[in-house]
Amino acid sequence: MTPLMVEFGMGSSLRRADYTQAAKRAVQDALWHNSINLAELFGF
């Protein structure tokens, strides 16, 4: 399987040092700032 794209996001949890919450925020940030629409890429 060939990767189609790579998205980067940043998340932090400074007060509680909760790495799980920081990871959730990073994924949300990457999806929120995604500028590539896969449906258009495949012609849907």
Q: Quick one: three-class SS letters along 1-44?
A: CCCCCCCCCCCCCCCCCCHHHHHHHHHHHHHHCCCCCHHHHCCC
Q: Give the model's pLDDT for residue 5.
A: 74
Percent of the chain with pLDDT over 90: 20
Per-residue pLDDT for 24 more than 80? yes
Contact 8, 30 (CB under 8 A): yes
Q: Answer whether residue 11 shows pLDDT above 70.
A: yes
Mean pLDDT of 21-32: 86
Q: CA angle 34-10-21, nearest 5°?
A: 110
Q: What is the pTM of this model?
A: 0.60
